[in-house]
Structure 1
């Protein structure tokens, strides 16, 4: 069975398919309910623009987490993921530190370099430099959060005796999780983060890339045991013969699996509670610190079944 240290999170559906629009009040109340159900963390998605036909209206991740922070007391607040190169890192350092303070140290920033070029073009950010921008932005966040006074130049950001207070509630800073799949990203995870946040990986694919990250950490002289590992997985609880088809259709129409990544609809956990527990065990056996659920169509009965029926079988 799962280790007692395994944590379980739940995603919020802060994006929908047009002409539907996300309901912020419902999302906040959903987060309050998720906390009451006992989940360790609640996670939101991030895009500025997403899609054309169809397109997906989405509520800003940080604005929503700020509201959730004010209505909850215990549950951790995760971004899965926040597209770092699209943000001014100095402003972002202030925003994230403030959310961490408002939530009394519950922020879990998951960050990645992004994949949707149209979004970068609209924001005036060079898509082809996003890796370099990501690395420099990570350094800026780290330094502004941990140094009393920062002097450095990361074009176009000229930090001259930059003093940023108050610092985050979590010291020396909130844990940074990095998402992605390319080798350079896995090396970034191993050397510049506190852990890997992945998305829709099968147990086998997760194990293979986790092994690579641990090797990269050792190669860089870092203790691999200091890294944490989180996988976001779609799940549908119910008789497989009834729910597998609708689940596959939902994943095909509303979710994207980046070309070249190991993310796949085949990662979906599907079946009765007992069958789902068995499938999840394959992930836990590979050493997973946190599993974040993406429930079928975000139906309340799915969320409740995960909390009250499935998780008790895993702990």
Structure 2
């Protein structure tokens, strides 16, 4: 398997963009700290695949107020009843633009853009524009997608998604971050350096993290991307989770800082605050105090961010935010 990026000919940059100056990145990823994010929609609907999207702006503002670090939008182009989950329904980039107008400082991210299905030249234009219009609050999570049923409707071979991911990512980075770039791609065109894409990212680079393995090795992710958001590990595997990532990124960080590590999934926030971690499909169940203890262990293991989706909890979302705000977030607030 060819693990290389597309051929990109570019003079060395005069300076490496320091992502620590990027507001959205800095709110979420801080050395020796852990922050908490929420995966959209900001609504519980355990018995329905589709949310109503009522009160979502009020919930976004409340999340920002209590110290939630980021809101993460999923990329689900078509609803597949076999999966029973339509995400937040709205296109993630358009929805982020709407949320940006309704909030002030919370980071807005994707978890993640299904890169093999996206045309990377136009995606670069969209992301760079959105990072400007949100005043640097955008963090882009990218994935290869996990729903085979979506690929035929795009005319794309599901088995090629790992190669397409690398190909699209190389083109995206070339046109996004370099002036008048030269590149040649097997799938996404070529440039001889006569054209330039504007705008460029306001902070030199819009942070791009891998959401899941994206059909890549962790070594490739550590070398090429700005962080990794994996699936929820078992509590007794947290130290191993952090140690393995630190070993891969010891010499691949931005400036003097290691690349960040995160995990995410569904959260069933149990009414018993002391209910210990219990694995459920796509995530875990826990009480609020047990969740706080888990986050402390994750922070000590070197995890920088945890993204939670409480949609499976049969309780009102405002009630969940109140409990997170009073019990969990005082130790992990991004405010």
TM-score under structure 2 length normalisation: 0.77
Q: Secondary structure at the match of 2:189?
A: strand
Could you say which residue in structure 1 is the equivalent of 2:156?
125
Match of 1:236 in 2: 269
Relative distance call for 1:187 and 1:204 in structure 2 (3 A) is farther
The answer on whether the counterparts of 1:45 and 1:79 sit within 8 Å (CA) in structure 2 is yes
Name the counterpart of 2:252.
222
Q: 1:193 matched to which residue of 2?
A: 225
Deviation of residue 78 (structure 1)?
Answer: 1.1
Query: Over aligned residues, Cα RMSD in angstroms?
Result: 3.0
- Whether 2:23 is the aligned partner of 1:5: answer no
Q: d(CA) in 2 for partners of 1:101 and 1:25?
A: 28
Is the CA contact 1:176–1:195 (under 8 Å) kept in the aligned structure 2?
Answer: yes
Deviates more, 1:128-137 or 1:30-39: 30-39
Structure 1: 5+ residue stretches without partners: 258-264
Shift in alpha-carbon separation, 1:119–1:149, aligned structure 2, 3 A: same
Distance 1:50 1:200 in 2: 24
Matched, 1:173 2:201: no
Deviations 1:182-211 (A, max 9, x none): 883312221111111123222344443443
Instruction: State the Cα distance separating 1:138 from its structure 2 match.
Output: 1.5
* Whole-Å separation in 1 of the counterparts to 2:253 and 2:133: 32
Structure 2 segments unaligned to the other structure (5+ residues): 1-29
Q: 1:151 aligns with which of 176, 182, 185?
A: 182
The residue that corresponds to 1:34 in the other structure is: 63
In the TM superposition, residue 14 of structure 1 has moved relative to its aligned partner by 7.2
Q: Which residue of 1 aligns with 2:325?
A: 307
Bigger mean CA deviation after superposition, 112-121 or 232-241: 232-241
Q: How far apart in 2 are the matches of 1:18 and 1:5?
A: 35
Residue 294 of structure 1: aligned partner: 309
What is aligned with 1:135? Answer: 166
Work out which of the residue numbers 279, 290, 299 in structure 2 matches 1:284. 299
Find the partner of 1:65 among 96, 101, 118.
Answer: 96
More helix by share: 1
| Residue deviations 1:61-82 (CA, integer Å, cap 9, x gap) | 1121111112111000011122
Task: Show the counterpart of 2:140.
Answer: 109
- Asked if the contact 2:131/2:137 (under 8 Å) is kept, the reply is yes
Residue 35 of structure 1 contacts residue 72 of structure 1 at CA under 8 Å; is this kept in 2?
yes
2:32·2:299 contact (CA, 8 Å) conserved in 1?
Answer: no
Against the structure 1 CA distance between its residues 309 and 74, is the aligned structure 2 distance closer, same or farther, given a 3 Å change threshold?
A: same
1:270 has 2:280 as partner? no
Higher relative contact order (CA 8 A, sep 6+): 2
Preserved contact between residue 269 and residue 280 of structure 1 (Cα < 8 Å) = no
Taking the TM superposition and a 5 Å limit, the aligned residue runs for 1:21-100 are: 21-24=50-53, 26-53=55-82, 55-57=84-86, 58-100=89-131
